[in-house]
Chain A
Amino acid sequence: MQKYTLNILLGFLCVGILLLCQYDIIDAYIQTVLMFVGINIIMSTSLNLVNGNMGEFSCGHAAFMCVGAYASSVVSVALFGTKLGGPLLPEAWAMFAFPLVILSGGVVAAFAGIIVALPSFKTRGDYLAIITIAVNYMIISAIENMSFIGGPRGFQGMKDTVWAMLDTVELPWMPFWVLFFTLFTIWIIRRFVSSTYGKGVNAICQDEVAAEIMSVNTNKMKLINFMLSSGLAGLAGGLFAHIIGYVNPQSFNILKSTEALVMVYLGGMGSLSGAVISAILFTALLEVLRSQAIIDFLLTPVTFFIPDWEPSAGVIKWVMIPLLLIMIMQFRPEGLMGNKELVDVFPRLRKFYKFK
């Protein structure tokens, strides 16, 4: 019983958040921030699978988010929206079909991951970085040239599905699905990494040639790992599209990939709990620095000398966050958690914690 304390607590926390959302105790803004925390957790943990556990340097992760967002939006609009002809299914089915809609985005993104996985069989090290950047540019450019999903203008109409769910049963559906898929991602990654089969991924990270000699099928391992990672990023993309209700290829550009990279390396390479913690912290930091009042307060020593200078929060945020990260890197060059998990840092947690 004691071993399941943390899981039970987690369950209560989830139910609590959903109840708070249901009775509008936390407002729509905080709900959105919480959902973005979930999406960022999915992004950082799934990228961690490639960058941390497998030791390859992939820096175009937003490309798969883009594919997932577009694929699931097209499915969702085709099934319940009016943009691509009339709705195929009745409204009442939306609450059952929604996870399948999101999963379809994940599946398509997983197949897009093959574009990265196949060249990675031969290339080593930094050459993979370029393949992933190139794939990011390629996918954005390809979607910009597809006029039936809006091209560079973007694509909308996914909110129809969300409203269809709300019309049927009045529940906080989006926070629920984001929580569900976040926990699903963490669970599946934990299962994969700690399984005997998934240990091959860590073996590739340590030494690829040695792993191959010890009968790890490195090509298959890489293929599966890339597909799993990009598929999970596709889930994040599908959820993102349904929260915002509008997708645009340029919102998945290299800056978005950089955010995912930052979250992984801030948390520490190969540490699942580190990736989760850093995703939460980073999203919170982004939101806190969005407020002009806090920025003005932080900059009072500067504006005291230069009174005419009035920076806007949206811009100076991106000076302060990188500076902060550079400082963190100087004092803790291995990230917040290093390559340890939370239970390695606090061994006593093991008593309350069985999560396989």
Chain B
Amino acid sequence: MDFIIQNILNALQWGSFYALIALGYTLVYGVLLLINFAHGDIFMVGAYIAFFVATLLLGGDGLGLGLSPAVTFALCIPLTMVLTAGVGVTLERVAYRPLRRKGAHRLYVVITALMCGLVLEYSNLTVLGASRKKFPELLEKTIWHFGDISVTNLKVLVIVAAVAVFVFLNFIVTKTKIGMAMRGISYDKFAIPLMGIPIDTIIVFTFILGSSFAGLAGLLFAMSYPILEPFMGMIIGWKAFIAAVVGGIGDIRGAFVGGFLLGFIEIGVVSVFPSTYRDLFAFSILLMILWMKPTGLFGVAKTTKI
């Protein structure tokens, strides 16, 4: 029993990262119908930005400000989110918007996104080198024991952050005016400007939301698994995209549920089988789910008219 509960907690933590990144995918997809394949690498950039912000604020040798870890952590969250959002918006401004203006086929925009991801990965490798970075410890580790189950404060923080982000995004998209505009763009991109809605502003806002939460995920990931490398975003990004699709892409609940589902499946497989079987089982199960529900768990089948 303890074994199961411990694994459920691990799965919740692991699924939170998938959920946080999948939310970014699904936001951009929901508004633009664009699979933003660079999103996993924005997550990686977020982790690196968090690393640099944290070392700058903590400081030891010369450059640093010498703040205490707690203050650093409190400052690190907004700074990372803002800077990562800047990266996401730059990508949108430089690469996607001109293509959108020219009315390129949307698959070409997807290829551009893939290329942007490669540029981010490899320019990181050229500028910072292949050596891995060790993230400094910001939170003092507290472990609570309940019988044989141990819970760290970081684990609770990650899960709470994922749930909070989900609730926040759900509120924005369903209750506010800007969320209404976002849903409107995804419904009809051509009629929306006629209603006096600034379409570019809304799209930039979407990218800000998605990228800043990828940055948050990067910070939390770097705190949980404190080794940074340039390719950390690739695998987790692709898997988060898969999670978003299984939930029904474009649906915020779907991304959230899909992320946690993938986390549960992966941790479940690893706790029973040898860990090399993880991808095989996880993706087979996802394929089965899509086989039974072709539009994902929460997706609505679009009726095609001729």
What is A's interface to B at a CB cutoff of 8 Å?
Answer: 51, 57, 115, 118-119, 122-124, 126-127, 129-131, 133-135, 137-138, 140-142, 144-145, 152, 207-210, 213, 254, 258, 261-262, 265, 269, 311, 315-316, 318-319, 321-323, 325-326, 329-330, 333-335
Within 8 A of A (CB), among B96-150: 98-99, 102, 104-105, 107-108, 110-112, 114-116, 118-119, 121-123, 125-126
> What is the interface of chain B mostly: helix, strand, loop, or mixed?
helix
Closest to B118 in A: A322
B171 on interface, CB distance cutoff 8 Å: no
B255 on interface, CB distance cutoff 8 Å: no
What is B's interface to A at a CB cutoff of 8 Å?
Answer: 29, 35, 95, 98-99, 102, 104-105, 107-108, 110-112, 114-116, 118-119, 121-123, 125-126, 234, 238, 241-242, 245-246, 249, 276-280, 283-284, 286-287, 290-291, 294-296, 302, 304, 306
Q: B126: which A residues are within 8 A, CB to CB?
A: 311, 315-316, 319
A137 touches B283 (CB 8 A): yes
A126 touches B245 (CB 8 A): yes
Known: A57-B110, A119-B290, A265-B111. A138 touches B296 (CB 8 A): no
Residue of A119, A134, A207 with most partner-chain B CB within 10 A: A134
B280 touches A138 (CB 8 A): yes
B122 touches A319 (CB 8 A): yes
Nearest CB on B from A210, distance (A): 5
Q: B112: which A residues are within 8 A, CB to CB?
A: 325-326, 329
Nearest CB on B from A240, distance (A): 22
B122 touches A315 (CB 8 A): yes
> What is the interface of chain A mostly: helix, strand, loop, or mixed?
helix
A129 touches B35 (CB 8 A): yes
Nearest CB on B from A255, distance (A): 8
Q: A262: which B residues are within 8 A, CB to CB?
A: 111, 114-115
Known: A141-B278, A141-B283. A131 touches B290 (CB 8 A): yes
A145 touches B277 (CB 8 A): yes
Known: A254-B238, A319-B122. A127 touches B107 (CB 8 A): no
**Which listed residue (A152, A209, A318) contacts B122, Cβ 8 A?**
A318
**Which listed residue (B245, B283, B302, B304) contacts A138, Cβ 8 A?**
B283
Nearest CB on B from A176, distance (A): 34
Nearest CB on B from A208, distance (A): 8
A323 touches B119 (CB 8 A): yes
A334 touches B115 (CB 8 A): no
**Which listed residue (B102, B110, B279, B283) contacts A333, Cβ 8 A?**
B102
The complex places the Cα of A333 from the Cα of B103 at a distance, in Å, of 9
A134 touches B286 (CB 8 A): yes
Closest to A311 in B: B126
Nearest CB on B from A91, distance (A): 37
**Which listed residue (A130, A208, A318, A334) contacts B104, Cβ 8 A?**
A334
Nearest CB on B from A319, distance (A): 5
Residue of B105, B110, B118, B295 with most partner-chain A CB within 10 A: B118
27 A-B residue pairs with Cβ-Cβ distance under 8 Å, sorted by A, are: A51-B107, A57-B110, A122-B291, A123-B295, A124-B294, A127-B245, A127-B290, A127-B295, A129-B35, A130-B290, A131-B290, A133-B238, A138-B284, A141-B276, A141-B283, A144-B276, A208-B304, A262-B111, A262-B114, A265-B107, A322-B115, A326-B115, A329-B112, A333-B102, A333-B104, A334-B105, A334-B108
